[in-house]
Amino acid sequence: MGGFNVGGVMLERPFKPRRLGHVGTFQTNLDAAHDFYIGALGLFHSDDLAFEPGKRIGFFTTNNTDHHAFVCIDAVMVKGNDPSFDDGITINQISFQVGTLEEVVEGHRFFKENGVPIWRVGRDFPGSNWAFYGLDPDGFQVELFYGMEQIGWERRSKPQAMHQILSEEPELAQSPEADEIRAAKANGVDLSSGACALDDTPAAYNVGGVLSPRPFSINKVGPVHLFVRDIDVSVDFYTRIVGLVVTEEVVWKGHRAVFLRNASDHHVIGLFPLALRSELGFRANTRVMHLSFEISSYKQLCDACAYLEGRGAVAGPKPPRELLPGIDYARSFLDPEGHAILLYFSMEQIGWDGRPRPWSERRAIPDEWPETLDAASDTYADQIRQGPIA
């Protein structure tokens, strides 16, 4: 039995990561990143990060109602201040959502008590989420957050006048969001003054009966695959501290890779030894093997690959099948910074007994993809994107 009461359930930690909420990257060319992630991949531009008017140092995107699911931050911000960027830490956050603000506060204390370096704690804007960031053994920032701002039908973010950044552990209990809205109205804040960037690309593709600017839509963000210095140390951090569960281990040419989950998806984090980076053909100045996006259907995945090739997107390295358990049909393309962006259809689902599908029961992936696939037992069984395709 665990020692922490989390919502009436006894757990081993005072929090439970419910899902991978968002991921952020550092980019040396924000305009090129904007064209790739918004123009090519079709993520919705939800907000900008700018400490001074007209001086954008980052932007936020989403594929659902969360204020952000994917973030791009100007690498110039960190190059002079944080040597980890030159060491290949080109992801600025791997962010897991927990169920309550109490879990953020207690999780912050749990991380500190276990000797994890803390980068920051408080409340972040844009996005309004309460959070803290701890550093994993390689220097990647792992965030636990609660209360992500939601964007409604008009696709408008919260006005900047409502941003109130907090840089300390919050007191419990905090006022509800409704009180913040009432206070903003009482102070004369125009609630319709938030960012709203609609996609002006012509809707020329029929995607499942809806006209869309692209022949596909992104279902969700993740998993994230990382090259790490010490597999055992990293596995200990992500299991003992973060609370992820090992789904599967793979040994390929003497190298051990470990895949961890937080829910029913086969994995949300994949850990690979740094020695594999050059052998697999990944660039030497990043520790990221893949940033992944799930596409809503197999047909859309095929159409997405053709669409990106037509735009001149550069293909990424192709790891052996053995190093992508839980994912079958997938292709990677390089973003402007050189990160390998893995697009895939369908993540293997893990049931109550926690066992992955045996290799003998997994699909064989031919070099030439078929027009259609036979259904697997867990096809379309994972979480789907809510809201309209376009």
83: burial class by Cβ within 10 Å (0-12, 13-18, 19+)? exposed
Strand arrangement of the beta sheet that strand 340-344 belongs to: 245-252, 255-261, 269-273, 218-228, 288-295, 340-344, 330-334
Whether residue 74 is found in the same domain as residue 145:
yes
At 35 the pLDDT is: 97
What is d(CA 383, CA 287) in angstroms, rounded to the nearest whole number? 28
Which of 141, 170, 199 lies at the terminal end of a domain, its last residue? Answer: 170
| 181 within a domain of the structure (yes/no) | no
| 179 within a domain of the structure (yes/no) | no
User: Strands 288-295, 340-344: parallel, antiparallel or unpaired by DSSP?
Assistant: parallel
* DSSP per residue, 74-130: ETHHHHTT-TTTTTT--EEEEEEE-S-HHHHHHHHHHHHHTT--EEEEEE-TTT--E
| 158 within a domain of the structure (yes/no) | no
> Quick one: how far is CA 372 from the chain centroid?
28
At 79 the pLDDT is: 59
What is d(CA 294, CA 218) in angstroms, rounded to the nearest whole number? 6
| 206 within a domain of the structure (yes/no) | no
Would you call 256 helix, strand, or coil by DSSP? Answer: strand
At 51 the pLDDT is: 74
Whether residue 138 is found in the same domain as residue 243:
no
| 317 within a domain of the structure (yes/no) | yes
Domain span at residue 136 reads: 12-152+163-170
What's the domain count of the chain?
2
The per-residue pLDDT string of the chain (390 residues; one tens digit each, 9 = 90 and over) reads 679 999 999 999 999 999 999 999 999 999 999 999 999 999 999 999 887 777 889 999 999 999 999 999 998 876 556 677 778 899 999 999 999 999 999 999 999 999 999 999 999 999 999 999 999 999 999 999 999 999 999 999 999 899 988 999 999 999 999 999 999 999 999 999 999 988 999 999 999 999 999 999 999 999 999 999 999 999 999 999 999 999 999 999 999 999 999 999 999 999 999 999 999 999 998 999 999 999 999 999 999 999 999 999 999 999 999 999 999 999 999 999 999 999 999 999 999 999 999 999 999 999 999 999 999 999 998 877 778 888
CATH number at residue 130: 3.10.180.10
What is d(CA 325, CA 249) in angstroms, rounded to the nearest whole number? 9
| 387 within a domain of the structure (yes/no) | no
| 373 within a domain of the structure (yes/no) | no
Whether residue 138 is found in the same domain as residue 53:
yes
Q: Is the CB of residue 220 less than 8 Å from the CB of residue 129?
A: no
Total-model pTM: 0.96
Would you call 317 helix, strand, or coil by DSSP? Answer: coil
Q: And the tokens for 17?
A: 């990561």
